Structure 1
Amino acid sequence: MSVPDVLYVMLTALFAAAALRGLRHGVLSPRSGWRSRIDHLLHAVMALAMAAMPWGWGLPETAQTTFFAAAALWFPLTAVRRRHESRLAATAGRLPYAVGMAAMAWMVRMPHATAGPSTQTQAGGLPAAHQAPHLARSVGESRAGDVVTAALALCLLACALRSLTRDMPILRSTTETVDTADTVDLSTPSESYRHFWDGFMALGTVVMLLMPH
């Protein structure tokens, strides 16, 4: 078994565990509200889709792209303000989830996995006079795709680092300006547990985003 295969097996196990966690603690939890249930259901579907992606399983590309694009809009559009919180802050708090869904939609349509061979085949079948414009357009599309991939990967990496480090005791002493509500969230075991899974899901998404599949 090659190194990429071993990595994909590990990622599959991670995403399957994340999907089970989302179903158990969110969708099937009697204490969850309707918005929380939908949030966890979307996360579970995303985790299952990424677990299946390396092995060539899944729904048609158009259906997946539409679903995850709609999911990316769901999170900022359904933001609910807490006490003494602005609408902008409430929306920003759900943007990391929206970025993850957008990355999933982009992965389904990602051009880099097949751009090389298909470009060569198509270019080889074109007349010499049309090869140069075709190749230039393909290179431009490939570069634009790389920029989108890099931007999504950086955003997800920042979200992962924030989730994984925000509950570290050494960092809590440096956050004296954080309001009381945020301080309570940091010390809640369930919130720390959620931050852990959010961070590892974001890291797993970055790996999937950067590796060919």
Structure 2
Amino acid sequence: MSATEVVHYMLTALFAAAAVRSLRQGVLTRTRGCRGRVDHLLHAAMALAMAAMPWSWGGALPELPQAVFFATAALWFPLTAVRSGQERQLSATARRLPYAVGMAAMTWMSYRAAGHSHQTMAEGVPTAHQAMHLSHSMGESKADSVVTGVLALYLLTCSLHSLTRDMPTLRATAETADRSTGLAGVCNRFWDGATAMGTVVMLLMPH
């Protein structure tokens, strides 16, 4: 088994577990309201798509419909940030922004996959257009690198923040705070950080 396959198996296990968790919370939890259920179901859909993406059979999923779906999901999180007048728009949007960026990253990967498929189908361009095609491809490659880098850097920052936030106070939280609430918060932040880190790896790895 190659190192690449090991990474693929690890990513598949991570996102499959995240999908099961999100489905359980979205379907079985009755106290989160409609917005909370939609949030979890969108996370589950993204995790399932991520779990399939590293493998060749994952390419059977249509890329452009995926890109449209996840672009809509990316808009869902900031547009539904405020549920009532009790929370400011800016702070509510900032709190949901990492989820929106995660969906945007999935949109970008689906869009890149669709573009790669189109490029593969168009390999037989006439000789007279090869120089123009090459110049256009180089320009797109630079733009792709910038977008990928910005998304990866933001998600990496969010991941490290989520994964390290509870480290200094983990013992105190377990001992002094309400146990169910404290552990639930730690668990949520762990999964947020782990899936964001997995998304960063997916963004940067060759497909």
TM-score normalised by structure 1 residue count: 0.83
Q: Is the 8 A contact 1:82 1:90 kept in 2?
A: no
Aligned pairs, number? 198
Question: Given residue 30 of structure 1, which amino acid in structure 2 is its aligned partner?
Answer: R
Counterpart in 1 of 2:76? Answer: 74
Q: Where does the alignment leave 5 or more consecutive residues of structure 2 unmatched?
A: 171-176
The alignment's TM-score, normalised by the length of structure 2, stands at: 0.85
Distance in 2 of aligned mates of 1:135 and 1:62: 24
For residues 1-213 of structure 1, the aligned pairs below 5 Å read 1-55=1-55, 56-57=57-58, 59-80=61-82, 85-110=87-112, 114=116, 118=120, 121-122=123-124, 125-127=125-127, 129-169=128-168, 188-213=182-207
Residues 4-30 of structure 1, C-alpha deviations (whole Å, 9 max, x = no match): 111100110110000111111233212
CA distance in 2, matches of 1:99, 1:167: 23
CA-to-aligned-CA distance 1:105-163 (integer Å, 9 cap, x gap): 11112169949x849944xx432x43322211110011101111111100110110111
Relative distance call for 1:203 and 1:113 in structure 2 (3 A) is farther
Q: 1:144 to 1:111 in 2, by over 3 A?
A: farther
Supply the AA of the counterpart residue of 1:207: V
SS at match of 1:54: coil
Taking a change above 3 Å as real, the CA distance of residues 12 and 70 of structure 1, as seen in their structure-2 partners, is same
TM superposition shift of 1:188: 2.4
Which structure 1 residue ranges, 5 or more long, are not aligned? 172-182
CA 1:144–1:210 in 2, change beyond 3 Å: closer, same or farther?
same
